[in-house]
Amino acid sequence: MSSAHWKRWLGPANRCLVPFTSFAEYDTIDGKKVPVWFAADESRPLMCFAGIWTNWTSVRKAKEGEITADVFGFLTCAPNAEVARVHPKAMPVILTTQEQFDVWMTGDWDKASKLQRPLPDGSLTIVATGEKEDQLRGS
């Protein structure tokens, strides 16, 4: 994490795991922005983004006035080969093992910061292109 702005939230008390089975980056195809979906493989196993969270007080809507909300974001890093073809600037920091989850959630920053790296090339697969079509279970 190179920005001083985020330093106050880098301790274990403000870290979180953001679970996902696939994520999208936008590519330009035939002049249109189209989501390209990435996952570990076609079965879309659970992985987590390395996230940070905090309470944030602000006015989001004038009618609502000042509110305090729980907000989160996730860390990014240089992209691996698969993501770089679509988004050459960055990709989310992805954690895939219980050991990585534990280090992220409880480790000191020297140890946890080493997780801010791209997944190895070949670790992600494009599983879909276009708008999300997954159906909600039980609907």
| Residue boundaries of the structural domains of the chain | 6-20+48-122
pLDDT by residue (tens digit) across 37-60? 999 999 999 999 999 998 888 898
pLDDT for residue 137 is more than 60: no
The percent helix, strand, coil of the chain (3-state, each to 5) is 20, 40, 40
Q: Out of 3.90.226.10, 3.40.50.300, 3.20.20.70, 3.90.1680.20, which CATH number does the structure's domain 6-20+48-122 have?
A: 3.90.1680.20
Nearest to 101 by CA among 3, 12, 9, 2: 12
pLDDT for residue 127 is more than 60: yes
pLDDT by residue (tens digit) across 75-118? 999 999 999 999 999 999 999 999 999 999 999 999 999 999 99
Instruction: Please state the pTM of the whole predicted model.
Output: 0.83
Mean pLDDT of 53-79: 88
